[in-house]
Amino acid sequence: MSLSPLGASRSLAAVFTPIKSGGLVDEVCRRIELAVETGLLGSGQRLPNEIELAGALGVSAVTAREALSQLRGQGLIRTTRGRSGGSFVTENSFPSPERAREQLLGLTRLQLTDLGLHFQAIAVTCAGVAAKRSSSDDVQALEQFISPPAAPGEPATAFSWRLTAAEFMLEVAAVARSARLARELLHLQADMGTLTLLPFEDPRFCQTTATLHGAIIDAIATHDTDAAEARTKELITAKTRWLLAEHAAGQQ
């Protein structure tokens, strides 16, 4: 399958790997929902066609067609006809800070802490394995995700920071050569949902993220497992603490 309609990346490729078990239609839907929720598939982005989708996920074209129909019914995608047609993520799928704060306040502090610890455990494992298995090409790929691109004189948006941070961690998992870890990270990022948009409204948090991304890359490049794990733990801990502080402020 060609991922060209999606803007190919190893991170997004983790979404479109063969489905092993479970309800096939529901799992196809969940994979696409995960990609949208984590920002890997953005508003207005084109999905693979039915044949490409079926081939990538190892399901029948009928299953892919039914899943796309179900996603249209949910309002997550729209389909147009013609030479330039296809299925696209709907414009209203763009994450918003309002939705993120609503989700944040719907969690207890214990749930938020537990989610952060789970994410931290998987991310730290990915970084440690990546440090053992990395090549110079891997390091160059990671360096694309230190911080998001922005127009001259303009700061990057919170959404672009969130997407870059998600891609960075998924790329670390890709460097670890573990599709299972990559998928687990993807699921955890989806569980955190739009929550992770909020910290990137804070310029100081953005700077901290860029600094730690660079430090993690340096550790992976030098095969320093301990440093890669420690800096990744700092990165996830910083995000969890920011969200806990925001949660406390919202409860007052």
* Coil, helix or strand at residue 149: coil
Domain identity same for 110 and 77: no
Mean pLDDT computed over 165-187: 88
The tokens describing 142, both together, are: 């990671």
The 10 Å CB-count burial string (b at 16+, else e) for 216-230 is: bbebbbeeebebbbb
Percent of the chain exceeding pLDDT 90 equals 47
Residue 131: pLDDT over 90: yes
Specify the CATH number for the domain of residue 44: 1.10.10.10
Give the residue from 140, 222, 205, 151 showing the smallest Cα distance to 174: 140
Q: Looking at the structure, do residues 149 and 233 belong to the same domain, yes or no? A: yes
Asked whether the beta carbons of 17 and 183 are under 8 A apart, the reply is yes
Q: Over 34-100, what HEC string results? A: HHHHCCCCCCCCECCCHHHHHHHHCCCHHHHHHHHHHHHHHCCEEEECCCCCEEEECHHHCCCHHHH
Task: State the total domains in the chain.
Answer: 2
Give, in order, the Cα–Cα distances in Å from 182 to each of 25, 46, 148, 176: 21, 22, 21, 9
72 and 115: one domain?
Answer: no
Helix (H) or strand (E) holding 174: helix 158-175
pLDDT-wise least confident of 125-129, 152-156, 231-235 = 152-156
Q: What is the pLDDT of residues 12-45, one digit of tens each?
A: 666 666 666 556 888 888 888 877 776 678 788 8
Residue ranges making up the domain that contains 149: 97-251
Task: Write down the mean pLDDT value for the chain.
Answer: 86
Range 98-115 average pLDDT: 90
pLDDT in tens, 195-228: 888 999 999 999 999 999 999 999 999 999 999 9
Task: Based on the fold, state whether residues 86 and 109 are members of the same structural domain.
Answer: no
